[in-house]
Structure 1
Amino acid sequence: MKRYLLLLVFVLAANFSFSQSKVTLKGYVVRPFGEYTVGDTVTVYGTRKNINTGMVQYYIRSPFGEYRYFNEDRISLLGNDLDFWENVWMENRAETINKKGWERGLRQELIEDAMDYYSQALNNNMVLQDDMLYDYIYQLIYSIHPLSMLKDRASDFSLVILNSTEHIAFSFDNGMIVLTTGLIASTESENELNLILGQCIAHAVLEHNLVNLNEVIRAERRARIWGTVAALAAATAMAADEVNNGVLHDYSLAADFGMSVYFLSSQVLDNLGAGYSSEQQLMAKRTAAKFMDEHPQVNFFDDQAYLNTIASAVSITAWQEYQLKNYSYAQVLALKLADARMASDIDYLLLSRIQRRKSNEMLSNQLALEYLQTARKMALDPLPELDKEEGLVYARLQQHEKSKAAYLKYRDSLLELKEKGKNVDAELRMINQYLQRNLGQDAAAMLKTDLDPD
C-alpha cells in the first residue's frame, strides 16, 4: 500500500504542477548510503551522468539539508516514465532550478523579449504568411516535443518564419522558435529540418537564453534594440517605395534592404540571450541528434513530399536571392522546384529573368522564352510581368514586332492599374518612352501617357 501511495505521489510530481517551486521525482533506497537505510523513501531533485563511469547519479538532499549525488544502483525510482526531453531537463536544469528557483522575473523579461521580437517582425513585414507551411512544421515540432515544457508556467512551442535569405534558427525561453525562409529552402529532407527543430527545442529545454541573460544591461539593451529597428524601418520603407515604384510583382521584401540582417544580427541575438556559445550549440546538436536516433518515426515525408511542402519558402528565397544579385543560387532554388514539377508561374517568370541575367546566347534566350510560355500556360490570373518579360526576350531574339506587341499589352495593364489607384507612373513612363522611340512618330502620337490628366 505504501508503494502505491508513493507511486501516486510520483505521478502528481511527474505532471509538473507549476504551482510548486521545485520539480522532483520519488524513489526508495535499495542500498544504504549516508543517513539512509534500505526501504527509506527519498526525493530526487535532479540527475546527471558520471563523466568517468557513465553511471546515472541522483541529486539527493540529506536530512541535514546537504545536497549530494549518489549512484543509481543505490536508489530505485518509482514509476520512472519520463520522456526524452524531461530526462534532458532533469539532467541539465533541475539542480540549478532547485538551487536558484525559477527566476520568474527574468523569465518574464524573456517572454516580453519574444513578444517584442515577434511584433516588430510582424510590423516590418518580416513574417512569412503561409498557413500550410506553418501547419506542417507545427506537426513536426509536436512530433519531437509533444508535451508542455518544464518552466515556471505552462509553456508550449510556437513558430515564427522570417522572410530572409539568412540561414539562422534559434528559440526563445518561452518556446517561440524562429526560422528563416532561407534556412528552410536550403534543406534537402524532412530529417534535416527535424534536426534543426530539435536543436531549437534543445536550446529552449536547456534554457540557454536564461543562462545567457545579463540582468544588468536589460533595460538599456531593449531600448537599444528596438530604437534601432524603428530607425531602420523608416529607411527601409523609403527604399522599398523607391524600388517597388511601378513594380507589379516582386519579392524584394524588407529583407533585401537589410532589415532581416539586423533582426538576425549577432548584436540582437546576443541581447536576446540567443547568441549561443559554441558549447551550447554543440550540446543542442548532440541532444537533437540523439533524439532523432532514438525516435526515427518522427520522419514521415519522403524528399518529394517534403519539397512540395516547403515550396513556398524555396520560391520566396529564390526571388530574394535574385534581388540580391545572387543569380546562380536563385537559379538553383528555382530549378529545384521546376525539376520536381512543383514550380508555379511566378517561378518560371523568375527563371526567365535569371536566364537573361546570366547569358545572351541564342539558346539561352530561347530557353527564357520557353520559361515564359510555360508560365503563361500555368497562370490562373493575369500576370502583366509576363508581357514585359516577353517584350525583353523577343527584342533579344530580334523579333521586334512581337516585342512591341508584348509591350503594348503590358502598357494596357499598367493603365488599368493606374485607374485603380496604383502607383505605376515610373513604369508607365519607361514603357511610353520605349514605344515612342520604336513605333514611329505618328503611332507614338496616338498613345496617351496618362501621367498628367490636364
Structure 2
Amino acid sequence: MKRYLLLLVFVLVANFSFSQSKVTLKGYVIRPFGEFAVGDTVTVWGTRKNINTGAVQYYIRSSFGEYRYFNEDRISLLGNDLDFWENVWMENRAETINKKGWESGLRQELIEDAMDYYSQALANNMVLQDDMLYDYVYQLIYSIHPYSMLKDRASDFSLVILNSTEHIAFSFDNGMIVLTTGLIASTGSENELNLILAQCIAHAVLEHNLVNLNEVIRAERRARIWGTVATVAAATAMAVDEVNNGVYHDYSLAADFGMSVYFLSSQVLDNLGAGYTSEQQLMAKKIASQFMDEHPQVNFLDDQQYLNTIASAVSITAWQEYQLKNYSYAQLLALKLAESGMASDTDYLLLSRIQRRKSNEFESNQLAMEYLKTARKLALDPLPELDKEEGLIYARLQQHEKSIAAYLKYRDSLLELKAEGKNVESELRMINQYLQRNLGQKASAMLKESDELD
C-alpha cells in the first residue's frame, strides 16, 4: 500500500511542478471601440455568447487594466488554434480567472482532498487493482483530453476505480477521475464510457469543484469526512472479522459495502465540491455530447472487444450484486459475459449459485450443474467451492451418494487449507456436522479413515 501512496504523491507533485500560462487569442480591430482604432491588434482573454442574441463576444483588456466584452463584429480573430477543451475554458473560466486570479490556495486544498480521498480508499481496500483495465481507461482519457489542463500549475488526469455497485463518476480539480466498477459494468459500449469520461473531464475543465468549495468550513469539512470514515472503517473491520471467522468463502465482499456506500455518498461528495448542481451536470453533459459528436474517432473498440476489456469490472459487480441479493441483475451481468465467451470459472460458479437462488425446478438444477461442469473445464487452479456447490445441487436432485462424495472432497480441500494455516474452522465444522447427520454411525469411521490417509 505504501508503494501506491508514494506513487500518487509523486504523480501529484509532478503534475503540479510547472507554472501554467493562460491561453489567449489574437485579433485585430475592424470597427473602432473604446481606445482602439481600426487595425489595432488586441489580445482576447476570454469569449462568451450573448445570452439574448447568441452573438460571440470577446473579452478585451484596456491599457488601464479594465476588462470588457465586445461583439465579434468589432474584432476579427487572427485564427483560432485552441483545441476543444481550451475553447471550453476560454468560454467558461477565463473571465473569472482574470478577475480573481488562480486562487492557488483553494486549489491546493483540493489537491490535498484528492490525496486524502485516494489514500483512505486504498487503506480500506476499495481501490480496484487491475492494470489492464486502468491502462485501457487511461487511453480513453488521453484520447479525449490529450494535453495538460489549464490550471495554476500544469496538471494531468489520473484515474481511480473503486470496487462498488454504485453508479457514480466524478472528478477532482487536479484531474483525478473517480469511477466505480458498477458504473463501468453498466455500460454497453465504449461510446457510453467515453461520454462518462468526457463529463468528468468537463467538470474538471469547468472547475466545478473549485466553484463549490467553501473555504470557511474546510477544517470542519475534513473532520466530518474522515472522522466518519474512521468510524465506518472500524465497523467494517469488525464485520469482516466476523464473516471471515472460519468461513471459507467470498462473504467479505458484502462486509465492505457500508464503506463503499459512504465513500460515494452525497455527504462526502458535497464536502469535496463534487456534489454537482443540476445546472453543472447539464453543462458537463452538453459539453461531453458536443465533444463526442465532433470527435467520433475516440471510439476504437467494437462492443465485443469493449466487453472483453471491461470484463473484470462486470465480474466484480456481478458478485457484489449477488451478495446484495440482487439476483436478477447479477445474473444479467454474468450471462452477458458467458454469452460473449468472456466468463471465467468463478463467473460460471456464480451462475450456478444464482440458478439455485431463483428456482428449484428440475431443469433449473440441471442447468446449475451444467454451469459447474463448464467452470471445472475452465479452472486453471483448484476451486474447492465447486465441490460444495456440486454437493448442494446433487442433494436437490436426490442423488445423495454423489452429494456426499462431493462434500467429502470439499472437506479434504478444507483440511488442506487448515494445514496451510487458513482459518476454516466454521466451514469445516458445518461440513462435519452435515456428514455426521447424513451418514449416521458410518460418518465417524469414514472421516477418521479419510483423516488418517491424509
Shorter-chain TM-score range: over 0.9
CA distance 1:348–1:166, change in 2 (3 Å): same
Is this contact kept in 1: 2:107–2:173, CA < 8 A?
yes
The equivalent of 2:409 in structure 1 is 409
1:193 matched to 2:231: no
Is this contact kept in 1: 2:236–2:256, CA < 8 A?
no
CA distance 1:325–1:256, change in 2 (3 Å): farther
1:255-285 Cα distance to aligned partner (Å, 9 max, x none): 7531111000000000000000000000000
Correspondence 1:245-394 to 2 at 5 A: 245-250=245-250, 252-253=252-253, 256-394=256-394
Correspondence 1:84-163 to 2 at 5 A: 84-163=84-163
Q: Unaligned 5+ residue runs, structure 1?
A: 1-16
The equivalent of 1:6 in structure 2 is none
The equivalent of 2:434 in structure 1 is 434
Task: Number of aligned residue pairs: give it.
Answer: 435
For 2:142, the aligned partner's letter is Y
Percent of aligned pairs with the same amino acid: 90
Compute the displacement of 1:127 (Å).
0.5
CA distance 1:372–1:87, change in 2 (3 Å): same
Q: Distance in 2 between matches of 1:239 and 1:383?
A: 25
SS at match of 2:155: coil
Compute the displacement of 1:174 (Å).
0.3
Compute the displacement of 1:125 (Å).
0.5
SS at match of 1:51: coil
Is this contact kept in 1: 2:248–2:427, CA < 8 A?
no
Compute the displacement of 1:78 (Å).
3.3
The equivalent of 1:8 in structure 2 is none
For 1:62, the aligned partner's letter is S
SS at match of 1:253: helix
Q: Distance in 2 between matches of 1:290 and 1:449?
A: 72
SS at match of 1:233: helix
Is this contact kept in 2: 1:236–1:254, CA < 8 A?
no
Compute the displacement of 1:20 (Å).
6.2
Is this contact kept in 1: 2:121–2:127, CA < 8 A?
yes
Is this contact kept in 1: 2:56–2:71, CA < 8 A?
yes
CA distance 1:449–1:105, change in 2 (3 Å): farther
Q: Distance in 2 between matches of 1:213 and 1:110?
A: 8
Is this contact kept in 2: 1:124–1:254, CA < 8 A?
no
SS at match of 1:69: strand
Q: Distance in 1 between matches of 2:426 and 2:58?
A: 72
The equivalent of 2:42 in structure 1 is 42
Aligned Cα RMSD in Å?
1.8
The equivalent of 2:8 in structure 1 is none
The equivalent of 1:219 in structure 2 is 219
The equivalent of 2:31 in structure 1 is 31
SS at match of 1:188: coil
Is this contact kept in 2: 1:124–1:233, CA < 8 A?
yes
The equivalent of 2:171 in structure 1 is 171
- Normalising by structure 2, we get a TM-score of 0.93
Is this contact kept in 2: 1:21–1:102, CA < 8 A?
no
For 1:313, the aligned partner's letter is A
1:140-191 Cα distance to aligned partner (Å, 9 max, x none): 1000000000001111011100000000000000000000000001111111
SS at match of 1:68: strand
SS at match of 1:26: strand
Compute the displacement of 1:331 (Å).
0.5
Is this contact kept in 2: 1:18–1:151, CA < 8 A?
no
Correspondence 1:2-41 to 2 at 5 A: 19=19, 22-41=22-41
- Normalising by structure 1, we get a TM-score of 0.93
Compute the displacement of 1:252 (Å).
4.1
Is this contact kept in 2: 1:22–1:101, CA < 8 A?
no
Compute the displacement of 1:28 (Å).
2.1
Q: Distance in 1 between matches of 2:18 and 2:361?
A: 68
The equivalent of 1:3 in structure 2 is none
Compute the displacement of 1:450 (Å).
12
The equivalent of 2:9 in structure 1 is none
The equivalent of 1:418 in structure 2 is 418
1:222-271 Cα distance to aligned partner (Å, 9 max, x none): 01111111111111011112223344452742675311110000000000
Q: Distance in 2 between matches of 1:167 and 1:20?
A: 34
Q: Distance in 2 between matches of 1:107 and 1:53?
A: 35
Is this contact kept in 1: 2:246–2:424, CA < 8 A?
yes
Q: Distance in 2 between matches of 1:426 and 1:369?
A: 26
Is this contact kept in 2: 1:252–1:319, CA < 8 A?
no
Is this contact kept in 1: 2:164–2:181, CA < 8 A?
yes
1:10-59 Cα distance to aligned partner (Å, 9 max, x none): xxxxxxx9636754333222222111012212121111012233222110
CA distance 1:186–1:255, change in 2 (3 Å): farther
Compute the displacement of 1:376 (Å).
0.3
1:284-314 Cα distance to aligned partner (Å, 9 max, x none): 0000000000001101111111111111000
Is this contact kept in 1: 2:49–2:56, CA < 8 A?
yes
1:97-140 Cα distance to aligned partner (Å, 9 max, x none): 00000000000000000010000000001011111111111111
The equivalent of 1:64 in structure 2 is 64
For 1:271, the aligned partner's letter is N
CA distance 1:388–1:133, change in 2 (3 Å): same
CA distance 1:247–1:79, change in 2 (3 Å): farther
